[in-house]
Structure 1
Amino acid sequence: VHNPTEKVNTDKPIIVASGWKPGCSTDKDAVLMAETYGAEEVINLSNIEYIYDKDPAKYDDVQKIESISWKEFREDIIPKEWEPGIHAPFDPPASKKAQELGLRVSILNSLNLEEVRKVLNEKEFEGSVIK
């Protein structure tokens, strides 16, 4: 995939992609691809296992969040504005667009292959869901 807004002819049920071009986040690219293909869910493989109520790199008393609404996520968890390199589980522009589209976004650690397998098979998994 060279452009997340252009459909590629495929019969595969899962599309795996990464960044598109400098200045665009991979989160936003994933949301644009979901829109292009009419997907209902984005699976975001990251270096975190869950969304937390605050930055676990800065605080010891964090609480994991297994499920959260887009409204709560955008108001309480992520910054209002996006800057390249910010640390957010799913960045502000991507979150805004995902909320507008009514997408479900699953966030889980990419290194835990058993949990990746579970989410791909629509089973309960260790991670967070924004919807």
Structure 2
Amino acid sequence: MSRVVLSVGGSLINPGKVDVAFLKKLAKLITGLSKDYQFAIICGGGQPAREYAAAVRNLGGNEFLADEAAIMMTRANAFIAASSIGEFAYPGVMETFNSAAEAVAVASRRVVVMGGTIPGFTTDADAALLAEKINAKRLVNLSNIDGIYNMPPSRPGAKKFAKMTHSELVRLANEYDMRKAGTNFVFDNIACKIIARSKMETHFVYGKDLKQVEAAINGTNHEGTVVK
């Protein structure tokens, strides 16, 4: 059975409050495809992570502590995501790559869910590393942006890539990734370098368009960006 890692942006799970309707729809899609794929899901922190990281800084904490606060929020989102999957989810929220990989190895029909791991790493990088560790067939990034653009998509003249190489993605991430908790390029530069070294097929789609998500999981044509 092919393994697929989903990196689900926290802004989809909790843009200000938990989006229960989205989680139910995503869970239905994943469980429906679980006969064909084994899934591991990594959840981002979203608005709560940004707020807590900012609060830590405002209270005098350093970036390490801001990262730790953000990681706690990713794990809260992961818990909510696992709850939406119900009995199809492997019990608990994984906190390390080894525990997630062990769960994947022993539970081929269960969905493994994880949040962030260590300060300095975004959940993008966590997803890339887990995909590499478990030899996933592909990695699918779900966010509130519908692909990779040549510049921030809010800028006039921004153009979306339908396809790009790993090296092109790394160059773009190096230009725009700020490497700071609560701020991010669509996929941070460490994550880009990880998928480049392992030549991981990676898809970027708008996460709330589940037809696009399903196409990306299947490796078929979609309106986002494919990197390989």
Contact 1:47 1:109 (8 Å CA) reproduced: yes
1:40 to 115, 137, 141: 137
Which one of the candidate residues 166, 179, 191 is aligned to 1:83?
Answer: 179
Q: Structure 2 CA distance, aligned partners of 1:129 and 1:18?
A: 24
Of the three residues 70, 87, 95, the one matched with 2:166 is: 70
- CA change 1:16–1:117 in 2 (3 A) is farther
Is the CA contact 2:178–2:185 (under 8 Å) kept in the aligned structure 1? Answer: no
Larger RCO (CA within 8 A; separation ≥ 6): 1
* Ranges in structure 1 where 5+ consecutive residues have no aligned partner: none
> 1:14, 1:127 → 2: CA distance?
24
The alpha carbon displacement at 1:27 in A equals 0.8
- Quickly say closer, same or farther: Cα 1:82–1:93, change in 2 above 3 A: farther
**Aligned 8 A contact 1:82 1:93 in 2:** no
Which residue of 1 is the match for residue 53 of structure 2? none
Residue type at the aligned position of 1:111: K
Query: Residue deviations 1:30-74, cap 9 Å, x none?
Result: 1111122111311111110011111122x1111110111111121
Report the structure, 1 or 2, having the larger helix content. Answer: 2
d(CA) in 2 for partners of 1:126 and 1:17? Answer: 27
Aligned Cα RMSD in Å? 2.1
- Is the contact made by 2:150 and 2:159 (CA closer than 8 Å) also made in structure 1? yes
TM-score for the superposition, normalised by structure 1: 0.85
Three-state SS of the structure 1 residue aligned to 2:136 is coil
Alignment match of 2:213 (pick from 100, 104, 116): 116
Cα distance change on mapping 1:49 and 1:65 into 2, 3 Å:
same
- Contact conserved, 1:52 with 1:65, CA < 8 A, in 2? yes
AA matched with 1:78: A
Please state whether the residue corresponding to 1:78 is helix, strand or coil. helix
Match of 1:61 in 2: 157
Of residues 10, 13, 20, the one that matches 2:107 is 10
- Equivalent pairs, count: 129
Classify the secondary structure of the residue corresponding to 1:52: coil
Q: Matches of 1:30 and 1:66 in 2, distance apart?
A: 22
SS in 2 for 1:64: coil
- What is the TM-score normalised by the length of structure 2? 0.51
Instruction: Determine what percentage of the aligned residue pairs are the same residue.
Output: 26
Q: Which has the larger radius of gyration?
A: 2
